[in-house]
Amino acid sequence: MLNKKFIIFLICLLVYPLPVLAHNFISKIGFYDGMSHPVLGLDHFLAMISVGIVSAQIGGRAIWTVPSTFVIIMTIGGLFGFLLIIEEFYFVEVGIILSVILLGFGISIEKKIPTKLIMVFVGIFGLFHGTAHGLEIPAAANPILFVLGFICGTSALHLFGVAIGYFSIKTAISSILLRLTGITFAAYGIYLLYGTF
Write the single-letter amino acid at 178. L
Between CA 37 and CA 18 the distance in angstroms is: 24
User: Which of 195, 181, 88, 95 lies closest to 139 in space, CA to CA?
Assistant: 88
Predicted confidence at residue 85, as pLDDT, reads 61
Write the single-letter amino acid at 39. V
Predicted confidence at residue 86, as pLDDT, reads 61
Per-residue pLDDT of the chain (197 residues; tens, 9 = 90+): 445 554 454 444 444 443 333 333 444 567 888 888 788 889 999 999 999 999 999 988 999 999 999 999 999 998 888 887 666 677 888 999 999 999 999 999 877 788 889 999 999 999 999 998 888 776 656 788 888 888 999 999 999 999 999 998 888 898 899 999 999 999 999 999 987 76
DSSP annotation of 137 reads G
pTM (two decimals) = 0.80
Predicted confidence at residue 134, as pLDDT, reads 84
